[in-house]
A = this chain, B = another copy of it.
Amino acid sequence: MLASNILNELIAAVGAENVLTDKTDMICYGYDATQMEYLPDAVVHPANPEEVSAVLKLANLHGFHVFPRGAGSGFTGGALPKAGGVVLVTTRLNRILRIDTENLIAEVEPGVVTEQFQLAVEKLGLFYPPDPASLKFSTLGGNVAENAGGPRCVKYGVTRDFVMGLEVVLPTGEIIRTGTETYKAVVGYDMSRLLCGSEGTLGVITKIIFKLLPLPEAKKTMLTIFDSIDGAAKAVSTIIGNKIIPTTLEFMDHATLQCVEKRFNLGIPAEGRAVLLIEVDGDRDLIEKQADRIHELIKPLGLVQFRAARDEAESAELWRVRRLVSPSLRDINPDKYNEDIVVPRSKVPDVIRTIEKIQQKYDIPIVNFGHAGDGNIHVNVMINKQIPGQQEKAHQAITEIFRAALDLNGTMSGEHGVGLSKAPYIEMELSPQQIAAMKAIKHALDPNNILNPGKMFPW
């Protein structure tokens, strides 16, 4: 509970209609995609950086915690007020301030929904590639704070690669600009990229300057099915080794295929053990040539089926297999732990085989799909929380899965971040010296530890 004088000061800072304290509202802002729930004491909806600054200055003065939140679509509890305090929602800062078609940059506020931004730039013939699965509802501020990825990152890079500059309110309330409107810029430390992926612990983002690209002329989608996971993995390195970098190289393992086929009867051949959904984009002639070359290259690798879309409608049909994965998963078990390990791409078959062993050991269904081009696998551990012991088994299995990824020089997370969910595991990946250096930076910028405490590091 916040003292009434603090509430009054928050009201003075952002306006009475922008400070919520009703229980119902607290429930609305106490969840995210993790199914965890932590109720805040209050929720504020500032309208501009000055109001964000005022809230953070009050927090430092009175010692309450502030938890920045975009759409609350995170997978690791990054926006949840576990320590109690004030949730600061950035969705009122939702304007696309400008799209500069000559210099290919855009300036936006953090509350803009990712897909809305993509559609706005595409209307002008431009392209913002990062495409997290949540793009229909997640916000660009959240994307930057988590350094969001997506299928297209294998060719185009992650959110960080499109951030040129930010306006940030530091934990102590100072409003700063980072970076510039030019892609090359080396004056001072790279605060923009330090903020990318810092999970709302180092500052509240209030403006973003993005780099844009010209919208590719055309794209071509191919659904390819292999008789082994090794064939699919070999296909990935063969395609890239032959100088073709597809826009997406989406992968589904046998368990995923079975699950989708059982529910939706898509006619996936029985001998299919792994799917690669491949998309190339760019010059219209070039992509046709690339599609032919890809077919030729992957034929000897145990290819069971190859379908190439001739138009947008056929492309959507091929993507349907991938889109039906999530709705199918709940048929296996009602509860899901959704991890997102990464390994060097040649190690995908190794880690999938290890995960199969872990699945047998704990007798829990595990379904794997993801972004094969960058070795980023969504590992879905499917359990029923009602069955005693299943949660514990899942946690043990996840620990072993993380260990497997790390042993292959990978990471525990390529897209979701650490937040609350992975904080207990972070010492598996980062050394005490690394954590100490990161905490020193956190302390330097947030000496009172008021901004998003309890996330990322076990404090």
Contact = CB atoms under 8 A, between A and B. Distances in A.
Contact of A170 (B214, B289, B411, B433): B433
A160 B104 contact: no
Q: Copies of this chain, how many?
A: 2
B102 A418 contact: no
Contacts of A417: 186-187
A374 interface: yes
Nearest to A102: B346
Contacts of A289: 283, 285
Interface stretch (A11-19, A306-314, A361-369, A439-447): A439-447
A103 interface: yes
Nearest to A182: B342
B243 A214 contact: yes
A157 interface: yes
B413 A374 contact: no
A177 B190 CA distance: 19
A148 B215 CA distance: 28
Contacts of A435: 188
Interface string A71-106: 000000000000000000000000000001111110
Contacts of A103: 237, 344-346, 375
B434 A186 contact: no
A102 B188 CA distance: 36
A37 interface: no
A243 to B, nearest CB: 4
Contact of A286 (B101, B105, B153, B283): B283
B184 A374 contact: yes
Nearest to A343: B182
A426 interface: yes
Given A190-B147, A240-B104, A409-B180, A185 B342 contact: yes
Contact of A437 (B105, B176, B285, B437): B176
Given A187-B418, A343-B182, A443 B441 contact: no
A46 interface: no
A197 interface: yes
A446 to B, nearest CB: 10
A146 interface: yes
A450 interface: no
A412 interface: yes
Interface residues of A, number: 91
A133 to B, nearest CB: 14
Interface in A28-44: none
B180 A190 contact: no
B437 A170 contact: yes
A139 interface: no
A178 interface: yes
Given A180-B342, A374-B183, A456 B193 contact: no
A374 B183 CA distance: 7
A189 interface: yes
Given A102-B346, A180-B409, A344-B103, A441 B430 contact: no
A202 B102 CA distance: 36
B245 A188 contact: no
A194 B193 contact: yes
Contacts of A157: 161, 183
A187 B431 contact: no
Given A102-B237, A160-B190, A186-B411, 13 more contacts: A157-B183, A175-B433, A182-B342, A182-B376, A184-B415, A187-B411, A188-B456, A189-B442, A214-B243, A216-B243, A285-B286, A286-B286, A441-B445
Top 5 closest pairs, chain A to chain B, by CB:
A184-B414, A444-B444, A193-B193, A440-B444, A214-B243
27 contacts: A102-B241, A146-B186, A158-B184, A176-B431, A177-B434, A178-B434, A181-B410, A182-B343, A182-B344, A182-B374, A182-B375, A184-B375, A186-B411, A186-B416, A187-B429, A188-B438, A189-B197, A189-B441, A190-B193, A190-B196, A191-B437, A194-B441, A243-B283, A285-B289, A441-B444, A441-B445, A444-B444
